[in-house]
Structure 1
Amino acid sequence: MTRLCYCHSQQPFAQCCEPLLSGNSTAPSAEALMRSRYSAYATANFDYVLNTYSREKREHLTLADLQENAEATQWLALQVESHSADGETAEVQFCAYFKEQGKLYKLHELSRFVREEQQWKYHDGDILPDTGTVKMGRNDLCFCGSERKFKQCCGKG
């Protein structure tokens, strides 16, 4: 059975983010890099996450920091809301849904990307005000796009 990509592109993982995570290709856009970074978090590929930070930001991070910060996180869904590029810089606005210690959260961010040595790199982002815990209604559809009720989908367990 073909596994759909963690980034919720509705493409097979093997054709979407896996070639980027394995180093067999590079992200053609900031949005593709954003999606692959989400997939890297979802699969605990923290080497990839670290290597896709801009040089300036990578200087202040370690693999251990990334692993520790995401250790108890279960990534559930990604929704890319917008993206724009202007030469060597780009922005991607997204919502990422995750669970930690049984609680549901949303990370809503406007991320900035730069091109370094012909590759897109994550530089930084602004966390938007509606970031935080999420309360799903009893019959709300799941945010992952499955068209099922949340409680029968990502809300199980």
Structure 2
Amino acid sequence: MSENCYCGSQRAFVDCCGPLISAQIAAPSPESLMRSRYTAYCLGNYDYILATYAQAPRSALSIASLEDSARGTQWLTLIVHPSPTLLPSQVEYSAYYFLPGKKLGVLHETSNFVMEDNQWRYLDGELHDDCGTVNQGRNDKCVCGSGKKFKQCCLNKA
């Protein structure tokens, strides 16, 4: 896969999230882990997603429950929000997606990560008030930040 990584880094998958998802290297930061988890959702790699949860929440999850929660979701774009007020173990992001019926949605979260066994793990997150359905006009600028109209960009991915 030589195309750009799903995480929005503008780097090739093999040089970005690929080595993390294939367990060749550990995530060097909470942001890199969050980006690789987003990419794993795009790829449907629920084994990796489950493995990157912290021990406490992981015990209540299964691959089947992760698959069920993501069924029908088509991930479009990830935007990481830089913030000087976040702790080093936190990442704020917005992940845009389509649900069946081409309904555009956003998951806006501040995620908390912990170090376990010398590896970053996802602990939990706080959802922001703007989560849910997004009213996006076909001629509005695309949510991904490409500068193109929505109809000429991410709407084509639905």
Q: CA deviation at 1:50?
A: 0.1
Q: CA deviation at 1:85?
A: 4.5
Where structure 1 has 5 or more consecutive residues not aligned to the other structure, the ranges are none
User: Which residue in 1 is equivalent to 2:119?
Assistant: 119
User: Which residue in 1 is equivalent to 2:151?
Assistant: 151
Q: When the two structures are aligned, how many residues end up with a matched partner? A: 154
User: Which residue in 2 is equivalent to 1:78?
Assistant: 78
User: Which residue in 1 is equivalent to 2:12?
Assistant: 12
Higher strand share: 1
1:3-152 matches, within 5 Å, as 3-82=3-82, 84-86=86-88, 90-101=89-100, 102-152=102-152
Q: Secondary structure at the match of 2:90?
A: strand
The residue type equivalent to 2:136 in the other structure is: M
CA distance in 2, matches of 1:56, 1:104: 32
C-alpha offsets along residues 108-146 of structure 1, whole Å, 9 cap, x if unaligned?
Answer: 001000000110000000110010100112322212233
CA distance in 2, matches of 1:85, 1:135: 31
Where structure 2 has 5 or more consecutive residues not aligned to the other structure, the ranges are none
The residue type equivalent to 1:150 in the other structure is: F
Q: Secondary structure at the match of 2:129?
A: coil
The residue type equivalent to 1:155 in the other structure is: L
TM-score, normalised to structure 1's length?
A: 0.93
Q: Secondary structure at the match of 1:79?
A: strand
CA distance in 2, matches of 1:4, 1:118: 28
CA distance in 1, matches of 2:44, 2:145: 23
Identity %: 49
C-alpha offsets along residues 35-73 of structure 1, whole Å, 9 cap, x if unaligned?
Answer: 000000000000000000000010000010001111211
